């Protein structure tokens, strides 16, 4: 019962917000309350799953594997909670940042459309249904990225829409092959058949197509180019929401698919993912180092950080997966936070270009602090969560004996520090180039939202122990696919 609510409540909220789209204040207040409600709901779900193990629901009473199954294990519940929290913060931020015209043009209903798609993708246990949720999520994001219709946004959104469609083609093609081979798309049923059938041909081909589809969405190495070309165009609140939710859905799906479906040629997939992870990390961070627009630096960093998550997945020991899950939580919060802080800089100085910025440390020390926390967290300075995430990942890498990728991860960490310090030096520390720092009005709610998120980042670092403990449980569930299979089907693993 509680499983269906994270999907239908956003739909209900969206409908209400469409009917009331002219009343700006109602939209703002209602969206905030609604997203807080979703967060509470996700927390309840996490608690329930933590106590009882994976929970399932058969939509419309059609039994698995014939109907659509909704299932939440710990990983899904964790992702759900983090996403909802990011949404709350963005909802606090938006009234103080996004212009009135965009806010009444359907910004709030679209955010809930996006949330519905994201939540659906986390909770579904059926591959075709997952494709549908991806489309719900992408369609909302298409409109959000073009909302307002400035020339720059349209340029960015054309690239984004085109590449997303291509990825969807790969997704559907893979689904078609899989359905033709196995005759089922229920994920648990499929995983079970892959383990029990003597030989299932073309599985690696289908998985590779899936990999292409998800790596486009998660912005992995050869398919990341669309992200820095489009993410910096909409207002930064929208970018922050995308950075905190959209790319992470791709990562979540990869975790799910890897644990359930990679049965044949495990070694090939491991090496393949390790290479991809290493290249994603290093290419992302190197390209970030050469940028001078805050939003572009941060966009390239999304790519580099996603590499860390894939690294944890590729190693696939319990510790490494747990570290990757913790890292994902940290990244969703810290990344969103840096984008929001970048937005504050823009409001204050009227520019995102590091060459024109400067002196903010002196004139706006609080804004500087709000950027400093998440930036140092991303760079991996203790006691912030980025440090623990990287530490556990690297530890997991050493334990598993994957020394090369671990070395790459450490080196990339250094470069991350370099580009965070670069933003810090240029925007906050150096003297303003024109002698003026700008004195734009910074929205109160925007500052409040950034502060709330920065506090959450700090707390995630302080409570790294308990969070890591939950991640560890989630990793144990993920490493044992029968936990998932048995929750959906009435099959005993022995």
Partner 1 sequence: MESVILQIAARHMRPLLIILSVIVLYRGHNEPGGGFIGGLMLGAAYILYAMAFGVGKTQNRILFSPINLTALGLLIALLSGVPALLSGMPFMTGEWVTFFANSAFELKLGTPLLFDVGVFFAVAGMLMLVMFSIMEE
Residues found near partner 1 in the complex (CB under 8 A): 1, 4, 8, 11-12, 14-15, 18-19, 21, 57-61
Instruction: Give the span between the Cα atoms of 492 and 482, in whole angstroms.
Output: 8
- CB nearer partner 1, residue 7 or residue 357: 7
304: nearest Cα among 396, 380, 399: 380
Q: In which element (H, E) is residue 70 found?
A: strand 69-72
Q: In this structure, how many other beta carbons lie within 10 angstroms of the beta carbon of residue 169?
A: 12
48: nearest Cα among 60, 57, 58, 59: 57
- CB nearer partner 1, residue 136 or residue 218: 136
- CB nearer partner 1, residue 17 or residue 203: 17
- Minimum Å gap between C-beta 4 and partner 1 is 4
- Minimum Å gap between C-beta 5 and partner 1 is 9
- Residue 479: both structure tokens together: 């490493």
CB 262 within 8 A of CB 269: yes
- Minimum Å gap between C-beta 139 and partner 1 is 11
- CB nearer partner 1, residue 13 or residue 371: 13
Instruction: Give the span between the Cα atoms of 313 and 270, in whole angstroms.
Output: 9
- Minimum Å gap between C-beta 57 and partner 1 is 6
- CB nearer partner 1, residue 15 or residue 33: 15
- CB nearer partner 1, residue 19 or residue 165: 19
223: which DSSP letter?
A: G
Q: Between the CA of residue 65 and those of 115, 218, 410, 490, what are the distances in Å?
A: 26, 28, 44, 10
Q: Which residues contact 33 (CB under 8 A, 6 or more apart)?
A: none
Instruction: Give the span between the Cα atoms of 299 and 352, in whole angstroms.
Output: 13
Instruction: Give the span between the Cα atoms of 82 and 87, in whole angstroms.
Output: 9
Instruction: Give the span between the Cα atoms of 371 and 327, in whole angstroms.
Output: 19
- CB nearer partner 1, residue 44 or residue 369: 44
Instruction: Give the span between the Cα atoms of 57 and 64, in whole angstroms.
Output: 10
- Minimum Å gap between C-beta 13 and partner 1 is 11
487: nearest Cα among 119, 3, 39: 3
- Minimum Å gap between C-beta 382 and partner 1 is 45
- CB nearer partner 1, residue 58 or residue 264: 58
- Residue 383: both structure tokens together: 């006691």
- Minimum Å gap between C-beta 104 and partner 1 is 13
- CB nearer partner 1, residue 112 or residue 428: 112
Spell out where 125-228 has E strands. none
- Minimum Å gap between C-beta 22 and partner 1 is 11
- CB nearer partner 1, residue 106 or residue 481: 106
In 262-363, which ranges are continuous DSSP H helix? Answer: 266-289, 294-315, 318-349, 360-363
- Minimum Å gap between C-beta 9 and partner 1 is 10
Instruction: Give the span between the Cα atoms of 276 and 150, in whole angstroms.
Output: 35
- Minimum Å gap between C-beta 479 and partner 1 is 29
CB 336 within 8 A of CB 86: yes
């Amino acid at each position: 019962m509680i499983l269906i609510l994270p999907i239908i409540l956003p739909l209900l909220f969206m409908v209400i917000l469409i009917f009331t789209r002219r009343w700006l204040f109602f939209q703002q207040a209602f969206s905030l309350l609604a997203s807080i409600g979703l967060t509470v709901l996700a927390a309840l779900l996490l608690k329930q799953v933590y106590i009882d193990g994976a929970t399932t629901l058969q939509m419309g009473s059609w039994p698995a594997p014939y109907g659509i199954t909704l299932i939440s294990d710990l990983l899904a519940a964790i992702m759900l909670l983090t996403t909802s929290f990011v949404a709350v913060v963005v909802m606090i931020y938006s009234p103080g940042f996004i212009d009135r015209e965009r806010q009444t043009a359907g910004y709030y209903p679209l955010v809930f459309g996006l949330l519905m798609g994201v939540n659906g993708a986390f909770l579904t246990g059926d591959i075709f249904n997952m494709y549908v949720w991806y489309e719900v999520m992408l369609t909302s994001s298409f409109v959000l990225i073009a909302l307002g219709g400035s020339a720059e946004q349209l340029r960015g959104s054309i690239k984004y829409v085109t590449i997303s469609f291509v990825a969807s083609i790969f997704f559907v093609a893979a689904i078609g092959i899989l359905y033709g081979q196995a005759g089922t798309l229920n994920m648990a049923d499929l995983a079970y058949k892959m383990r029990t059938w003597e030989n299932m041909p073309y599985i690696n081909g289908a998985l590779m197509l899936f990999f292409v589809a998800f790596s486009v969405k998660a912005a992995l190495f050869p398919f990341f180019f669309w992200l820095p070309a489009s993410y910096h165009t909409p207002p930064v609140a929208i970018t922050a929401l995308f950075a905190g939710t959209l790319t992470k859905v791709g990562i979540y799906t990869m975790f799910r698919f890897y644990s359930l479906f990679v049965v044949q040629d495990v070694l090939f997939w491991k090496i393949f993912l390790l290479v991809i992870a290493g290249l994603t990390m290093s290419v992302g961070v190197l390209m970030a180092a050469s940028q001078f627009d805050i939003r572009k630096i941060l966009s390239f960093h999304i790519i580099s950080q996603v590499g860390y998550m894939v690294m944890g997945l590729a190693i696939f020991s319990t510790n490494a997966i747990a570290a990757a899950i913790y890292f994902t939580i940290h990244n969703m919060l810290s990344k969103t936070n840096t984008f929001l802080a970048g937005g504050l800089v823009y409001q204050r100085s009227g520019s995102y270009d590091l060459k024109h910025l400067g002196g903010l440390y002196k004139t706006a020390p609080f804004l500087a602090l709000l950027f400093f926390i998440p930036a140092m967290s991303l760079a991996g300075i203790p006691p912030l969560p980025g440090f623990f995430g990287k530490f556990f990942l690297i530890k997991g890498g050493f334990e598993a004996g994957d020394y090369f990728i671990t070395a790459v991860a450490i080196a990339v960490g250094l470069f991350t520090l370099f580009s965070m310090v670069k933003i810090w030096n240029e925007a906050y520390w150096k003297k303003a180039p024109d002698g003026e720092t700008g004195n734009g009005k910074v929205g109160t709610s925007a500052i409040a939202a950034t502060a709330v998120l920065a506090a959450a980042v700090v707390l995630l670092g302080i409570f790294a122990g308990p969070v890591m403990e939950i991640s560890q449980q989630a990793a144990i569930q993920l490493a044992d696919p029968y936990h998932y299979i048995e929750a959906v089907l009435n099959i005993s693993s022995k």
